[in-house]
Structure 1
Amino acid sequence: MNQQSHTSQTLDRGLQILEILASAPADMTISEIATTLDVHRTIANRLVTTLLNRHFLSRSLVGRYRLGTRLVCLAATIGGELRTIARPILMALNEETSETVHLVVLTGTDVLFIDAFESPRALRVASRVGRLLPAHATSVGKALLASLSDEELKALYPATRLEKTAPGTITNRSDLFKQVELVRRQGYSTSFEESEAGVGSVGVAIVDRNGAARAALSIAAPSSRLTPELPRLIAAAAQSARQIGEQL
Protein backbone atom coordinates (compact mmCIF):
# COMPACT_ATOMS: atom_id res chain seq x y z
CA MET A 1 0.00 0.00 0.00
CA ASN A 2 1.23 3.49 -0.83
CA GLN A 3 2.62 5.13 2.31
CA GLN A 4 1.06 8.47 1.28
CA SER A 5 -2.42 6.93 1.66
CA HIS A 6 -1.85 6.99 5.43
CA THR A 7 -1.03 10.72 5.52
CA SER A 8 -3.12 13.89 5.61
CA GLN A 9 -2.50 16.21 2.67
CA THR A 10 -3.97 19.18 4.54
CA LEU A 11 -1.75 18.65 7.57
CA ASP A 12 1.26 18.09 5.33
CA ARG A 13 0.62 21.37 3.53
CA GLY A 14 0.23 23.21 6.82
CA LEU A 15 3.56 21.85 8.03
CA GLN A 16 5.15 22.82 4.72
CA ILE A 17 3.98 26.41 5.28
CA LEU A 18 5.76 26.45 8.64
CA GLU A 19 8.93 25.14 7.00
CA ILE A 20 8.66 27.67 4.16
CA LEU A 21 8.34 30.59 6.57
CA ALA A 22 11.08 29.22 8.83
CA SER A 23 13.56 29.31 5.96
CA ALA A 24 12.29 32.52 4.32
CA PRO A 25 14.58 35.57 4.57
CA ALA A 26 11.55 37.85 5.10
CA ASP A 27 7.84 37.77 5.93
CA MET A 28 5.65 36.45 3.11
CA THR A 29 2.26 37.28 1.58
CA ILE A 30 -0.51 34.76 0.92
CA SER A 31 0.32 34.88 -2.80
CA GLU A 32 3.99 34.17 -2.15
CA ILE A 33 3.12 31.27 0.14
CA ALA A 34 0.69 29.85 -2.44
CA THR A 35 3.30 30.08 -5.20
CA THR A 36 5.99 28.40 -3.10
CA LEU A 37 3.58 25.69 -1.95
CA ASP A 38 2.26 25.31 -5.53
CA VAL A 39 -1.41 25.55 -4.55
CA HIS A 40 -4.28 27.92 -5.38
CA ARG A 41 -4.39 31.13 -3.36
CA THR A 42 -7.73 30.08 -1.82
CA ILE A 43 -6.20 26.90 -0.40
CA ALA A 44 -3.18 28.80 0.94
CA ASN A 45 -5.45 31.39 2.54
CA ARG A 46 -7.47 28.69 4.33
CA LEU A 47 -4.34 26.98 5.63
CA VAL A 48 -2.74 30.23 6.75
CA THR A 49 -5.94 31.35 8.51
CA THR A 50 -6.05 28.09 10.48
CA LEU A 51 -2.41 28.43 11.52
CA LEU A 52 -2.99 32.09 12.39
CA ASN A 53 -5.97 31.25 14.61
CA ARG A 54 -3.83 28.70 16.47
CA HIS A 55 -1.00 31.27 16.84
CA PHE A 56 1.42 29.20 14.77
CA LEU A 57 1.63 32.24 12.48
CA SER A 58 1.36 35.97 13.07
CA ARG A 59 0.31 38.70 10.63
CA SER A 60 1.99 42.07 10.23
CA LEU A 61 0.11 45.33 9.76
CA VAL A 62 0.86 45.19 6.02
CA GLY A 63 -0.58 41.69 5.61
CA ARG A 64 2.59 39.61 5.60
CA TYR A 65 3.06 36.43 7.62
CA ARG A 66 5.76 35.06 9.89
CA LEU A 67 6.09 32.26 12.44
CA GLY A 68 3.97 32.85 15.54
CA THR A 69 4.40 32.71 19.28
CA ARG A 70 2.98 29.20 19.62
CA LEU A 71 6.04 27.79 17.86
CA VAL A 72 8.30 29.66 20.25
CA CYS A 73 6.43 28.07 23.17
CA LEU A 74 6.80 24.60 21.64
CA ALA A 75 10.49 25.15 20.96
CA ALA A 76 10.92 26.21 24.58
CA THR A 77 9.81 22.75 25.76
CA ILE A 78 12.73 21.06 23.99
CA GLY A 79 15.78 20.30 26.11
CA GLY A 80 14.21 21.25 29.44
CA GLU A 81 17.24 20.54 31.65
CA LEU A 82 19.60 21.94 29.04
CA ARG A 83 17.69 25.22 28.75
CA THR A 84 17.32 25.57 32.52
CA ILE A 85 21.07 25.24 33.02
CA ALA A 86 22.03 27.29 29.97
CA ARG A 87 19.70 30.30 30.38
CA PRO A 88 21.56 32.25 33.08
CA ILE A 89 24.89 31.64 31.35
CA LEU A 90 23.48 32.71 27.98
CA MET A 91 22.02 35.83 29.59
CA ALA A 92 25.40 36.69 31.09
CA LEU A 93 27.08 36.13 27.71
CA ASN A 94 24.53 38.39 26.06
CA GLU A 95 25.17 41.12 28.64
CA GLU A 96 28.94 40.75 28.33
CA THR A 97 29.04 40.95 24.53
CA SER A 98 25.91 43.04 23.77
CA GLU A 99 25.30 40.67 20.85
CA THR A 100 22.59 38.11 20.11
CA VAL A 101 23.20 34.71 21.70
CA HIS A 102 21.53 31.47 20.57
CA LEU A 103 21.22 27.93 21.91
CA VAL A 104 20.64 25.16 19.36
CA VAL A 105 20.38 21.39 19.04
CA LEU A 106 21.17 19.22 16.03
CA THR A 107 18.29 17.43 14.32
CA GLY A 108 19.45 15.47 11.30
CA THR A 109 21.13 17.85 8.88
CA ASP A 110 19.43 20.88 10.46
CA VAL A 111 19.83 22.84 13.66
CA LEU A 112 16.85 23.91 15.77
CA PHE A 113 17.14 27.20 17.63
CA ILE A 114 15.63 26.61 21.08
CA ASP A 115 16.60 29.72 23.04
CA ALA A 116 18.02 33.19 22.50
CA PHE A 117 18.84 36.55 24.04
CA GLU A 118 18.80 39.40 21.53
CA SER A 119 21.36 42.16 21.31
CA PRO A 120 20.13 45.48 22.77
CA ARG A 121 21.71 47.36 19.86
CA ALA A 122 19.58 48.93 17.14
CA LEU A 123 21.48 47.03 14.43
CA ARG A 124 21.36 43.40 15.55
CA VAL A 125 20.66 39.81 14.57
CA ALA A 126 17.07 38.90 15.45
CA SER A 127 16.15 35.86 17.53
CA ARG A 128 15.78 32.66 15.52
CA VAL A 129 13.99 30.67 18.22
CA GLY A 130 11.76 28.03 16.65
CA ARG A 131 13.57 28.10 13.32
CA LEU A 132 15.28 25.22 11.55
CA LEU A 133 18.32 26.04 9.43
CA PRO A 134 20.72 23.79 7.52
CA ALA A 135 23.56 22.78 9.82
CA HIS A 136 26.17 23.31 7.10
CA ALA A 137 25.12 26.98 6.79
CA THR A 138 25.57 27.95 10.46
CA SER A 139 28.48 28.19 12.87
CA VAL A 140 26.57 26.21 15.52
CA GLY A 141 25.69 23.55 12.97
CA LYS A 142 29.30 23.08 11.93
CA ALA A 143 30.34 22.99 15.59
CA LEU A 144 27.90 20.12 16.20
CA LEU A 145 28.77 18.30 12.98
CA ALA A 146 32.39 18.33 14.15
CA SER A 147 31.37 16.12 17.09
CA LEU A 148 30.25 13.35 14.72
CA SER A 149 32.47 10.64 13.29
CA ASP A 150 33.46 10.67 9.61
CA GLU A 151 31.13 7.71 9.03
CA GLU A 152 28.19 9.56 10.59
CA LEU A 153 28.93 12.64 8.48
CA LYS A 154 29.00 10.63 5.26
CA ALA A 155 25.69 9.00 6.19
CA LEU A 156 24.12 12.42 6.86
CA TYR A 157 25.40 13.88 3.58
CA PRO A 158 25.27 11.24 0.83
CA ALA A 159 24.94 13.90 -1.90
CA THR A 160 27.90 16.02 -3.00
CA ARG A 161 25.89 19.25 -3.44
CA LEU A 162 24.48 21.20 -0.50
CA GLU A 163 21.64 23.72 -0.31
CA LYS A 164 22.64 27.36 -0.79
CA THR A 165 20.86 29.77 1.57
CA ALA A 166 23.07 32.88 1.40
CA PRO A 167 26.05 34.31 -0.52
CA GLY A 168 28.66 32.50 1.56
CA THR A 169 26.98 29.12 2.05
CA ILE A 170 29.16 26.04 1.62
CA THR A 171 27.61 24.16 -1.30
CA ASN A 172 30.05 21.28 -1.70
CA ARG A 173 30.26 18.28 0.65
CA SER A 174 34.05 18.04 0.45
CA ASP A 175 34.37 21.71 1.44
CA LEU A 176 32.04 21.09 4.38
CA PHE A 177 34.11 18.14 5.56
CA LYS A 178 37.27 20.29 5.39
CA GLN A 179 35.52 22.94 7.50
CA VAL A 180 34.44 20.30 10.00
CA GLU A 181 38.01 19.06 10.33
CA LEU A 182 39.17 22.64 10.97
CA VAL A 183 36.51 23.04 13.67
CA ARG A 184 37.71 19.85 15.35
CA ARG A 185 41.25 21.24 15.51
CA GLN A 186 40.44 24.75 16.71
CA GLY A 187 37.43 24.02 18.93
CA TYR A 188 35.07 26.60 17.45
CA SER A 189 33.35 27.47 14.20
CA THR A 190 32.66 30.70 12.36
CA SER A 191 30.10 31.67 9.75
CA PHE A 192 30.20 34.77 7.57
CA GLU A 193 27.12 35.35 5.41
CA GLU A 194 26.56 31.59 5.17
CA SER A 195 22.98 31.54 6.47
CA GLU A 196 22.01 35.16 5.84
CA ALA A 197 23.58 38.08 4.00
CA GLY A 198 25.32 40.53 6.31
CA VAL A 199 25.30 38.18 9.32
CA GLY A 200 28.26 36.50 10.98
CA SER A 201 28.56 34.26 14.02
CA VAL A 202 30.83 32.22 16.26
CA GLY A 203 29.67 28.76 17.34
CA VAL A 204 30.94 26.40 20.05
CA ALA A 205 29.64 22.94 20.94
CA ILE A 206 28.42 22.31 24.49
CA VAL A 207 30.01 19.07 25.66
CA ASP A 208 28.65 17.36 28.77
CA ARG A 209 30.65 15.62 31.51
CA ASN A 210 30.50 12.35 29.56
CA GLY A 211 32.10 13.94 26.51
CA ALA A 212 28.93 14.09 24.40
CA ALA A 213 28.03 17.21 22.41
CA ARG A 214 24.54 18.00 23.69
CA ALA A 215 24.00 21.35 21.98
CA ALA A 216 25.86 24.42 20.77
CA LEU A 217 25.75 28.15 21.40
CA SER A 218 26.53 31.05 19.13
CA ILE A 219 27.21 34.76 19.27
CA ALA A 220 25.74 36.42 16.18
CA ALA A 221 26.22 39.96 14.91
CA PRO A 222 26.36 42.01 11.73
CA SER A 223 29.47 40.77 9.88
CA SER A 224 31.11 44.20 9.91
CA ARG A 225 30.92 44.31 13.72
CA LEU A 226 31.83 40.68 14.32
CA THR A 227 35.15 40.66 12.46
CA PRO A 228 37.15 43.10 14.63
CA GLU A 229 35.77 41.50 17.81
CA LEU A 230 36.34 37.90 16.73
CA PRO A 231 39.10 36.84 19.19
CA ARG A 232 37.20 38.24 22.18
CA LEU A 233 33.90 36.69 21.11
CA ILE A 234 35.48 33.28 20.47
CA ALA A 235 36.96 33.27 23.98
CA ALA A 236 33.67 34.37 25.55
CA ALA A 237 31.65 31.74 23.66
CA ALA A 238 34.10 28.96 24.55
CA GLN A 239 34.04 29.88 28.24
CA SER A 240 30.23 29.94 28.34
CA ALA A 241 29.99 26.60 26.54
CA ARG A 242 32.36 25.06 29.10
CA GLN A 243 30.34 26.47 31.99
CA ILE A 244 27.15 24.93 30.64
CA GLY A 245 28.79 21.60 29.81
CA GLU A 246 30.24 21.24 33.31
CA GLN A 247 26.70 21.17 34.70
CA LEU A 248 25.28 18.60 32.27
Structure 2
Amino acid sequence: MSDERAAASPAGGDTSKGQTRQGGAAGKGASGSQTLARGLQALEAIAGRPQGLTVQDVAQHLGVHRTIAYRILVTLTDFRLAVRTSDGRYRAGSGMVTLARGYAAGIREAALPILRRTADELGATVALIAAEGDEQVAVAVVEPRTVDYHLGYRVGSRHPLGIGAAGLALSSLRLPSPGEPADAAEVRERGYARTFGEIEPGAYGVAVPLHTADPGLHLCVNLITTRKDVADGAVPTMLRVAEEISTLG
Protein backbone atom coordinates (compact mmCIF):
# COMPACT_ATOMS: atom_id res chain seq x y z
CA MET A 1 0.00 0.00 0.00
CA SER A 2 1.42 3.37 -0.37
CA ASP A 3 4.22 1.84 -2.41
CA GLU A 4 2.66 -1.49 -1.51
CA ARG A 5 4.21 -4.80 -2.47
CA ALA A 6 3.79 -3.39 -5.92
CA ALA A 7 4.46 -5.35 -9.05
CA ALA A 8 5.48 -3.74 -12.30
CA SER A 9 2.80 -4.55 -14.82
CA PRO A 10 1.75 -3.52 -18.30
CA ALA A 11 -1.40 -1.43 -18.66
CA GLY A 12 -4.51 -3.34 -17.71
CA GLY A 13 -2.61 -6.03 -15.80
CA ASP A 14 -1.37 -6.70 -12.30
CA THR A 15 1.43 -9.18 -12.01
CA SER A 16 1.45 -9.21 -8.22
CA LYS A 17 0.66 -12.70 -7.01
CA GLY A 18 -2.32 -13.20 -4.76
CA GLN A 19 -1.37 -14.13 -1.26
CA THR A 20 -3.31 -15.31 1.74
CA ARG A 21 -2.32 -14.85 5.32
CA GLN A 22 -1.08 -17.96 7.00
CA GLY A 23 -2.05 -18.64 10.56
CA GLY A 24 -4.94 -16.20 10.23
CA ALA A 25 -8.52 -17.41 10.52
CA ALA A 26 -7.62 -21.05 10.89
CA GLY A 27 -5.16 -20.25 13.63
CA LYS A 28 -7.96 -18.79 15.76
CA GLY A 29 -10.10 -21.89 15.75
CA ALA A 30 -9.56 -22.51 19.46
CA SER A 31 -11.43 -19.31 20.37
CA GLY A 32 -14.21 -19.61 17.80
CA SER A 33 -15.82 -21.97 15.36
CA GLN A 34 -13.19 -24.02 13.53
CA THR A 35 -15.61 -24.67 10.68
CA LEU A 36 -16.39 -20.97 10.31
CA ALA A 37 -12.69 -20.12 10.52
CA ARG A 38 -11.87 -22.60 7.78
CA GLY A 39 -14.71 -21.31 5.63
CA LEU A 40 -13.51 -17.74 5.96
CA GLN A 41 -9.94 -18.73 5.21
CA ALA A 42 -11.09 -20.64 2.12
CA LEU A 43 -13.11 -17.62 1.00
CA GLU A 44 -10.10 -15.36 1.47
CA ALA A 45 -7.93 -17.75 -0.56
CA ILE A 46 -10.43 -17.91 -3.43
CA ALA A 47 -10.89 -14.14 -3.48
CA GLY A 48 -7.12 -13.73 -3.78
CA ARG A 49 -6.81 -16.06 -6.78
CA PRO A 50 -8.56 -14.69 -9.90
CA GLN A 51 -7.55 -17.88 -11.75
CA GLY A 52 -9.50 -19.94 -9.23
CA LEU A 53 -8.63 -22.86 -6.94
CA THR A 54 -9.36 -26.57 -7.13
CA VAL A 55 -10.72 -28.62 -4.24
CA GLN A 56 -7.22 -30.02 -3.72
CA ASP A 57 -5.75 -26.49 -3.69
CA VAL A 58 -8.16 -25.46 -0.93
CA ALA A 59 -7.54 -28.68 1.01
CA GLN A 60 -3.79 -28.04 0.96
CA HIS A 61 -4.26 -24.40 1.89
CA LEU A 62 -6.38 -25.32 4.91
CA GLY A 63 -4.43 -28.46 5.80
CA VAL A 64 -7.55 -30.64 5.71
CA HIS A 65 -8.85 -33.64 3.78
CA ARG A 66 -10.40 -33.07 0.35
CA THR A 67 -13.81 -34.10 1.70
CA ILE A 68 -13.79 -31.30 4.26
CA ALA A 69 -12.58 -28.78 1.69
CA TYR A 70 -15.32 -29.88 -0.70
CA ARG A 71 -18.06 -29.42 1.95
CA ILE A 72 -16.76 -25.92 2.69
CA LEU A 73 -16.75 -25.01 -0.99
CA VAL A 74 -20.27 -26.35 -1.48
CA THR A 75 -21.49 -24.15 1.38
CA LEU A 76 -19.76 -21.08 -0.08
CA THR A 77 -21.32 -21.88 -3.45
CA ASP A 78 -24.79 -22.22 -1.90
CA PHE A 79 -24.46 -18.67 -0.58
CA ARG A 80 -23.08 -17.43 -3.93
CA LEU A 81 -19.80 -16.45 -2.28
CA ALA A 82 -18.03 -18.87 -4.62
CA VAL A 83 -18.85 -20.34 -8.00
CA ARG A 84 -17.63 -23.58 -9.61
CA THR A 85 -16.73 -22.98 -13.24
CA SER A 86 -16.56 -25.44 -16.14
CA ASP A 87 -12.88 -26.18 -15.51
CA GLY A 88 -13.71 -27.45 -12.03
CA ARG A 89 -12.07 -24.53 -10.25
CA TYR A 90 -13.73 -22.32 -7.68
CA ARG A 91 -13.72 -18.55 -8.06
CA ALA A 92 -15.25 -15.64 -6.15
CA GLY A 93 -19.02 -15.51 -6.62
CA SER A 94 -21.53 -12.70 -7.04
CA GLY A 95 -22.28 -12.70 -3.32
CA MET A 96 -18.90 -11.10 -2.76
CA VAL A 97 -20.16 -7.98 -4.55
CA THR A 98 -22.99 -7.64 -2.04
CA LEU A 99 -20.56 -7.93 0.86
CA ALA A 100 -18.22 -5.37 -0.69
CA ARG A 101 -21.05 -2.88 -1.17
CA GLY A 102 -21.80 -3.00 2.52
CA TYR A 103 -18.22 -2.24 3.52
CA ALA A 104 -17.52 1.22 4.98
CA ALA A 105 -21.13 2.32 4.68
CA GLY A 106 -20.96 2.22 0.89
CA ILE A 107 -17.98 4.57 0.55
CA ARG A 108 -15.99 1.97 -1.37
CA GLU A 109 -18.56 1.63 -4.15
CA ALA A 110 -19.23 5.35 -4.30
CA ALA A 111 -15.51 6.11 -4.43
CA LEU A 112 -14.68 3.77 -7.33
CA PRO A 113 -15.65 6.20 -10.14
CA ILE A 114 -13.56 8.91 -8.48
CA LEU A 115 -10.61 6.56 -8.13
CA ARG A 116 -10.90 5.52 -11.79
CA ARG A 117 -10.96 9.15 -12.92
CA THR A 118 -7.96 9.98 -10.77
CA ALA A 119 -5.91 6.97 -11.87
CA ASP A 120 -6.43 7.89 -15.51
CA GLU A 121 -5.74 11.57 -14.89
CA LEU A 122 -2.48 10.95 -13.01
CA GLY A 123 -1.38 7.87 -14.92
CA ALA A 124 -0.77 5.91 -11.72
CA THR A 125 -2.47 3.30 -9.55
CA VAL A 126 -4.82 4.83 -6.98
CA ALA A 127 -6.37 2.96 -4.06
CA LEU A 128 -8.66 3.26 -1.08
CA ILE A 129 -6.88 1.93 2.02
CA ALA A 130 -8.46 1.11 5.39
CA ALA A 131 -7.02 0.62 8.85
CA GLU A 132 -7.94 -2.70 10.45
CA GLY A 133 -6.39 -3.02 13.87
CA ASP A 134 -2.65 -2.69 13.43
CA GLU A 135 -2.78 -3.33 9.69
CA GLN A 136 -3.55 -1.38 6.55
CA VAL A 137 -5.55 -3.16 3.86
CA ALA A 138 -6.38 -2.19 0.28
CA VAL A 139 -10.17 -2.24 -0.13
CA ALA A 140 -10.27 -0.81 -3.66
CA VAL A 141 -7.48 -0.60 -6.24
CA VAL A 142 -7.76 1.08 -9.65
CA GLU A 143 -5.03 0.97 -12.28
CA PRO A 144 -4.70 3.61 -15.01
CA ARG A 145 -5.83 2.97 -18.58
CA THR A 146 -3.85 5.93 -19.95
CA VAL A 147 -0.30 4.61 -19.67
CA ASP A 148 1.54 1.54 -20.95
CA TYR A 149 3.45 0.82 -17.73
CA HIS A 150 2.49 1.21 -14.07
CA LEU A 151 2.69 -0.40 -10.65
CA GLY A 152 -0.15 -2.57 -9.44
CA TYR A 153 -1.21 -4.60 -6.41
CA ARG A 154 -4.28 -6.54 -5.42
CA VAL A 155 -7.30 -5.73 -3.29
CA GLY A 156 -6.73 -7.29 0.11
CA SER A 157 -3.00 -6.51 0.22
CA ARG A 158 -1.96 -5.95 3.82
CA HIS A 159 0.95 -4.31 5.60
CA PRO A 160 1.61 -3.13 9.15
CA LEU A 161 0.14 0.24 10.01
CA GLY A 162 2.65 3.08 10.17
CA ILE A 163 4.86 2.26 7.18
CA GLY A 164 4.52 3.63 3.67
CA ALA A 165 2.46 6.66 2.73
CA ALA A 166 -0.89 4.98 3.41
CA GLY A 167 0.25 3.68 6.79
CA LEU A 168 1.36 7.15 7.85
CA ALA A 169 -1.84 8.78 6.58
CA LEU A 170 -3.96 6.27 8.51
CA SER A 171 -1.83 6.68 11.65
CA SER A 172 -2.43 10.45 11.49
CA LEU A 173 -6.17 9.83 11.95
CA ARG A 174 -5.57 8.36 15.39
CA LEU A 175 -5.05 10.35 18.54
CA PRO A 176 -1.41 11.29 19.15
CA SER A 177 0.37 8.68 21.24
CA PRO A 178 3.96 8.05 22.39
CA GLY A 179 4.26 4.94 20.22
CA GLU A 180 2.99 6.41 16.95
CA PRO A 181 5.20 6.66 13.83
CA ALA A 182 7.60 9.56 13.99
CA ASP A 183 6.13 11.25 10.89
CA ALA A 184 2.47 10.99 11.93
CA ALA A 185 2.42 14.43 13.57
CA GLU A 186 3.87 16.00 10.43
CA VAL A 187 1.22 14.30 8.31
CA ARG A 188 -1.53 15.70 10.56
CA GLU A 189 -0.18 19.20 10.08
CA ARG A 190 0.62 18.91 6.37
CA GLY A 191 -2.48 16.93 5.38
CA TYR A 192 -0.75 14.22 3.35
CA ALA A 193 2.03 11.63 3.49
CA ARG A 194 4.82 11.17 0.97
CA THR A 195 7.29 8.24 1.00
CA PHE A 196 9.82 6.57 -1.23
CA GLY A 197 10.83 2.92 -1.22
CA GLU A 198 9.47 2.11 2.24
CA ILE A 199 7.61 -0.99 1.10
CA GLU A 200 8.50 -1.47 -2.55
CA PRO A 201 11.98 -0.39 -3.69
CA GLY A 202 11.85 2.41 -6.23
CA ALA A 203 8.20 3.27 -5.62
CA TYR A 204 6.83 6.63 -4.53
CA GLY A 205 3.70 6.80 -2.40
CA VAL A 206 1.36 9.75 -1.84
CA ALA A 207 -1.55 9.29 0.56
CA VAL A 208 -4.19 11.61 2.03
CA PRO A 209 -6.35 10.69 5.05
CA LEU A 210 -10.14 10.91 4.70
CA HIS A 211 -12.11 12.87 7.28
CA THR A 212 -15.53 11.25 7.10
CA ALA A 213 -18.60 11.74 9.28
CA ASP A 214 -17.77 8.47 11.07
CA PRO A 215 -14.79 9.10 13.37
CA GLY A 216 -14.26 5.37 13.78
CA LEU A 217 -13.78 4.83 10.06
CA HIS A 218 -10.12 5.29 9.16
CA LEU A 219 -9.52 5.46 5.42
CA CYS A 220 -7.11 7.15 3.05
CA VAL A 221 -6.59 7.52 -0.69
CA ASN A 222 -3.21 6.37 -1.90
CA LEU A 223 -1.16 6.65 -5.09
CA ILE A 224 1.88 4.61 -6.13
CA THR A 225 4.26 5.30 -8.99
CA THR A 226 7.87 4.83 -10.01
CA ARG A 227 7.97 8.37 -11.38
CA LYS A 228 9.08 11.20 -9.09
CA ASP A 229 7.49 13.85 -11.32
CA VAL A 230 4.10 12.12 -11.05
CA ALA A 231 4.38 11.91 -7.27
CA ASP A 232 5.47 15.57 -7.06
CA GLY A 233 2.54 16.77 -9.13
CA ALA A 234 -0.08 14.47 -7.61
CA VAL A 235 -0.43 16.14 -4.21
CA PRO A 236 -2.99 18.86 -5.10
CA THR A 237 -5.14 16.36 -7.01
CA MET A 238 -4.97 13.78 -4.22
CA LEU A 239 -5.98 16.40 -1.65
CA ARG A 240 -9.04 17.33 -3.74
CA VAL A 241 -9.93 13.67 -4.26
CA ALA A 242 -9.72 12.94 -0.53
CA GLU A 243 -12.03 15.84 0.21
CA GLU A 244 -14.48 14.68 -2.46
CA ILE A 245 -14.56 11.10 -1.17
CA SER A 246 -14.82 12.25 2.45
CA THR A 247 -18.15 13.91 1.70
CA LEU A 248 -19.54 10.56 0.55
CA GLY A 249 -19.45 9.23 4.09
What are the residue-to-residue correspondences of 1:1-80 with 2, within 5 Å? 7-21=32-46, 30-57=55-82, 67-80=92-105
Cα distance in 1 for residues equivalent to 2:88 and 2:164: 30
Asked if the contact 1:99/1:119 (under 8 Å) is kept, the reply is yes
The equivalent residue for 1:202 is 206
Q: Give 1:144's aligned residue.
A: 170
**Identity between Structure 1 and Structure 2 (%):** 27
Give distance in 1, aligned partners of 2:86 and 2:186: 45
Structure 2 equivalent of residue 169 of structure 1: none
Question: Structure 1 regions of 5+ residues with no counterpart?
Answer: 155-175
Contact 1:110 1:132 in 2 (8 A): no
Write 1 or 2 for the structure with the bigger share of helix: 1
Q: Quick one: distance in 2 between partners of 1:12 and 1:183?
A: 37
Which deviates more, 131-140 or 92-101?
A: 131-140
2:216 and 2:32 mapped to 1: Cα distance? 36
SS of match in other structure, 1:178? coil
Asked whether 1:188 is paired with 2:193, we answer yes
Give secondary structure in 2 for the equivalent of 1:39.
Answer: coil
- Normalising by the residue count of structure 1, what TM-score does the alignment of the two structures yield? 0.63
Which structure has more RCO (C-alpha within 8 Å, separation ≥ 6)?
A: 2
Q: Is the 8 A contact 1:144 1:213 kept in 2?
A: no
Letter of the 1:99 counterpart: A
Report deviation, 1:212: 8.2
Q: Tell me, what secondary structure is at the counterpart of 1:94?
A: helix
Partners of 2:51 and 2:186 in 1: CA distance: 32
Query: Contact 1:147–1:213 at 8 Å: present in 2 too?
Result: no
Cα RMSD, aligned residues only: 4.3
Q: Secondary structure at the match of 2:76?
A: helix
Alignment partners' CA distance in 2, 1:81 and 1:209:
13
The Cα shift of 1:216 comes to 1.0
- What's the CA shift string for 1:70-119, capped at 9, x where partnerless? 32331122234635764553343133123332223322223454444432
Cα contact 2:169–2:187 (8 A) shared by 1: yes
Distance change in 2, residues 1:238/1:78 (3 Å) = same
Residue pair 2:107, 2:248 contacting (<8 A) in 1 also: no
Contact 2:128/2:222 (CA < 8 Å) preserved in 1?
A: yes
Distance 1:150 1:241, change over 3 A: same
- Structure 1 residues 75 and 211: alpha-carbon distance in aligned structure 2, compared to 1, 3 A threshold: closer
Shift, 1:241, TM fit: 1.1
Unaligned runs of 5+ in 2: 1-27
Cα 1:50–1:219 shift into 2, 3 Å: same
Deviation, 1:207, is 1.9
Greater CA deviation, 39-48 or 197-206?
197-206
Number of residue equivalences: 219
TM-score normalised by the chain length of structure 2: 0.63
* Cα separation, partners in 2 of 1:42 and 1:178, compared to 1, 3 Å: farther
Partner in structure 1 of residue 159 of structure 2: 134
Aligned to 2:124: 99
1:13 Cα shift?
Answer: 0.6
Q: Which residue of 2 aligns with 1:235?
A: 236
Q: Aligned with 2:210: secondary structure? A: strand
Q: Which amino acid aligns with 1:77?
A: G
Aligned partners of 2:125 and 2:151 also within 8 Å: yes
CA–CA distance in structure 2, aligned partners of residues 103 and 115 of structure 1 = 5
